[in-house]
Amino acid sequence: MLVKKSVWIVGGDGWAYDIGYGGLDHVLASGRNVNVLVLDTEVYSNTGGQASKSTPRGAVAKFAAGGKPGPKKDLGLMAMTYGNVYVASVAMGAKDEHTLKAFLEAEAYEGPSIIIAYSHCIAHGIDMTTAMTDQKVAVESGQWLLYRYSPERGAAGENPLALDSRAPTRKVQDYLLQQTRFKMLTKSKPEDAKRLWAMAQHDVETRYRMYEYMASRKTEAPAPAAKDAPETPATAADKPVPTGATR
């Protein structure tokens, strides 16, 4: 017996969110049974630490020396809009069993899937020996969400989105203070840091409420298509009468 072929595309956030997004979108829209793993470091790690569309608000990077002014692009939410793409956001350091479950579901799904995985990086300015703990703080503060979107659940009449993160129990500042890419702005531009960190907290609260609402909606399975009624032959009374003729 032949073994089932498993196809995985692996890339970073610079590719998936930014310069290669057009190709990624084409793959997801194709409907093919292919899996995508995005190792999201939130910066162009291999080319010198430039900001990407995945870089979060307030982070300092090349081309964002004053802290990135805008929010992070929500790649997962964009992929969900297709409706037939399995989407998951995972952080192994926060919940390893959730990460495993997402990979198993993505592999089993007969269609396109994408897993966005939190990936710590030396460019974050952290102690890499405690990086898994940083992932846990990212989830506890709401800076990183854990969720799974399964089209199969939607087809069964269930809500396709499962929000696996609890409501944030820590402030975003607890996460930002762990990483030099955020802390350095408090030294160079303290007023900007204060403003951007407040906006980052608002981003987290708004995003969580939106995902919480989406995951709590009641849904129904699509109704089966109605079968066409069989045609019945027209009777003599139903047939049109020619002009000038009588029945």
Using an 8 Å Cβ cutoff, are 56 and 68 in contact?
yes
The model's pLDDT over 153-165, given as tens digits with 9 standing for 90+, comes to 999 999 999 999 9
Tokens of 55: 């870089």
Helix, strand, coil % (nearest 5) of the chain? 40, 15, 45
Domain boundaries, the chain: 8-216
Q: What is the DSSP secondary structure assignment for residue 170, as one 8-state letter?
A: S
- Grade residue 215 by pLDDT with cuts at 50, 70 and 90: very high
Buried b (16+ CB within 10 A) or exposed e, 162-196: bbbbeebeebbeebbebbebbebbbeebeeebeeb
More confident residue, 130 or 232: 130
pTM: predicted TM-score of the whole model, two decimal places: 0.86
The model's pLDDT over 60-116, given as tens digits with 9 standing for 90+, comes to 998 888 999 999 999 999 999 999 999 999 999 999 999 999 999 999 999 999 999
Between helix 190-216 and helix 180-188 the angle, nearest 10°, is: 140
Task: Domain 8-216: give its CATH architecture.
Answer: 3-Layer(aba) Sandwich (3.40)
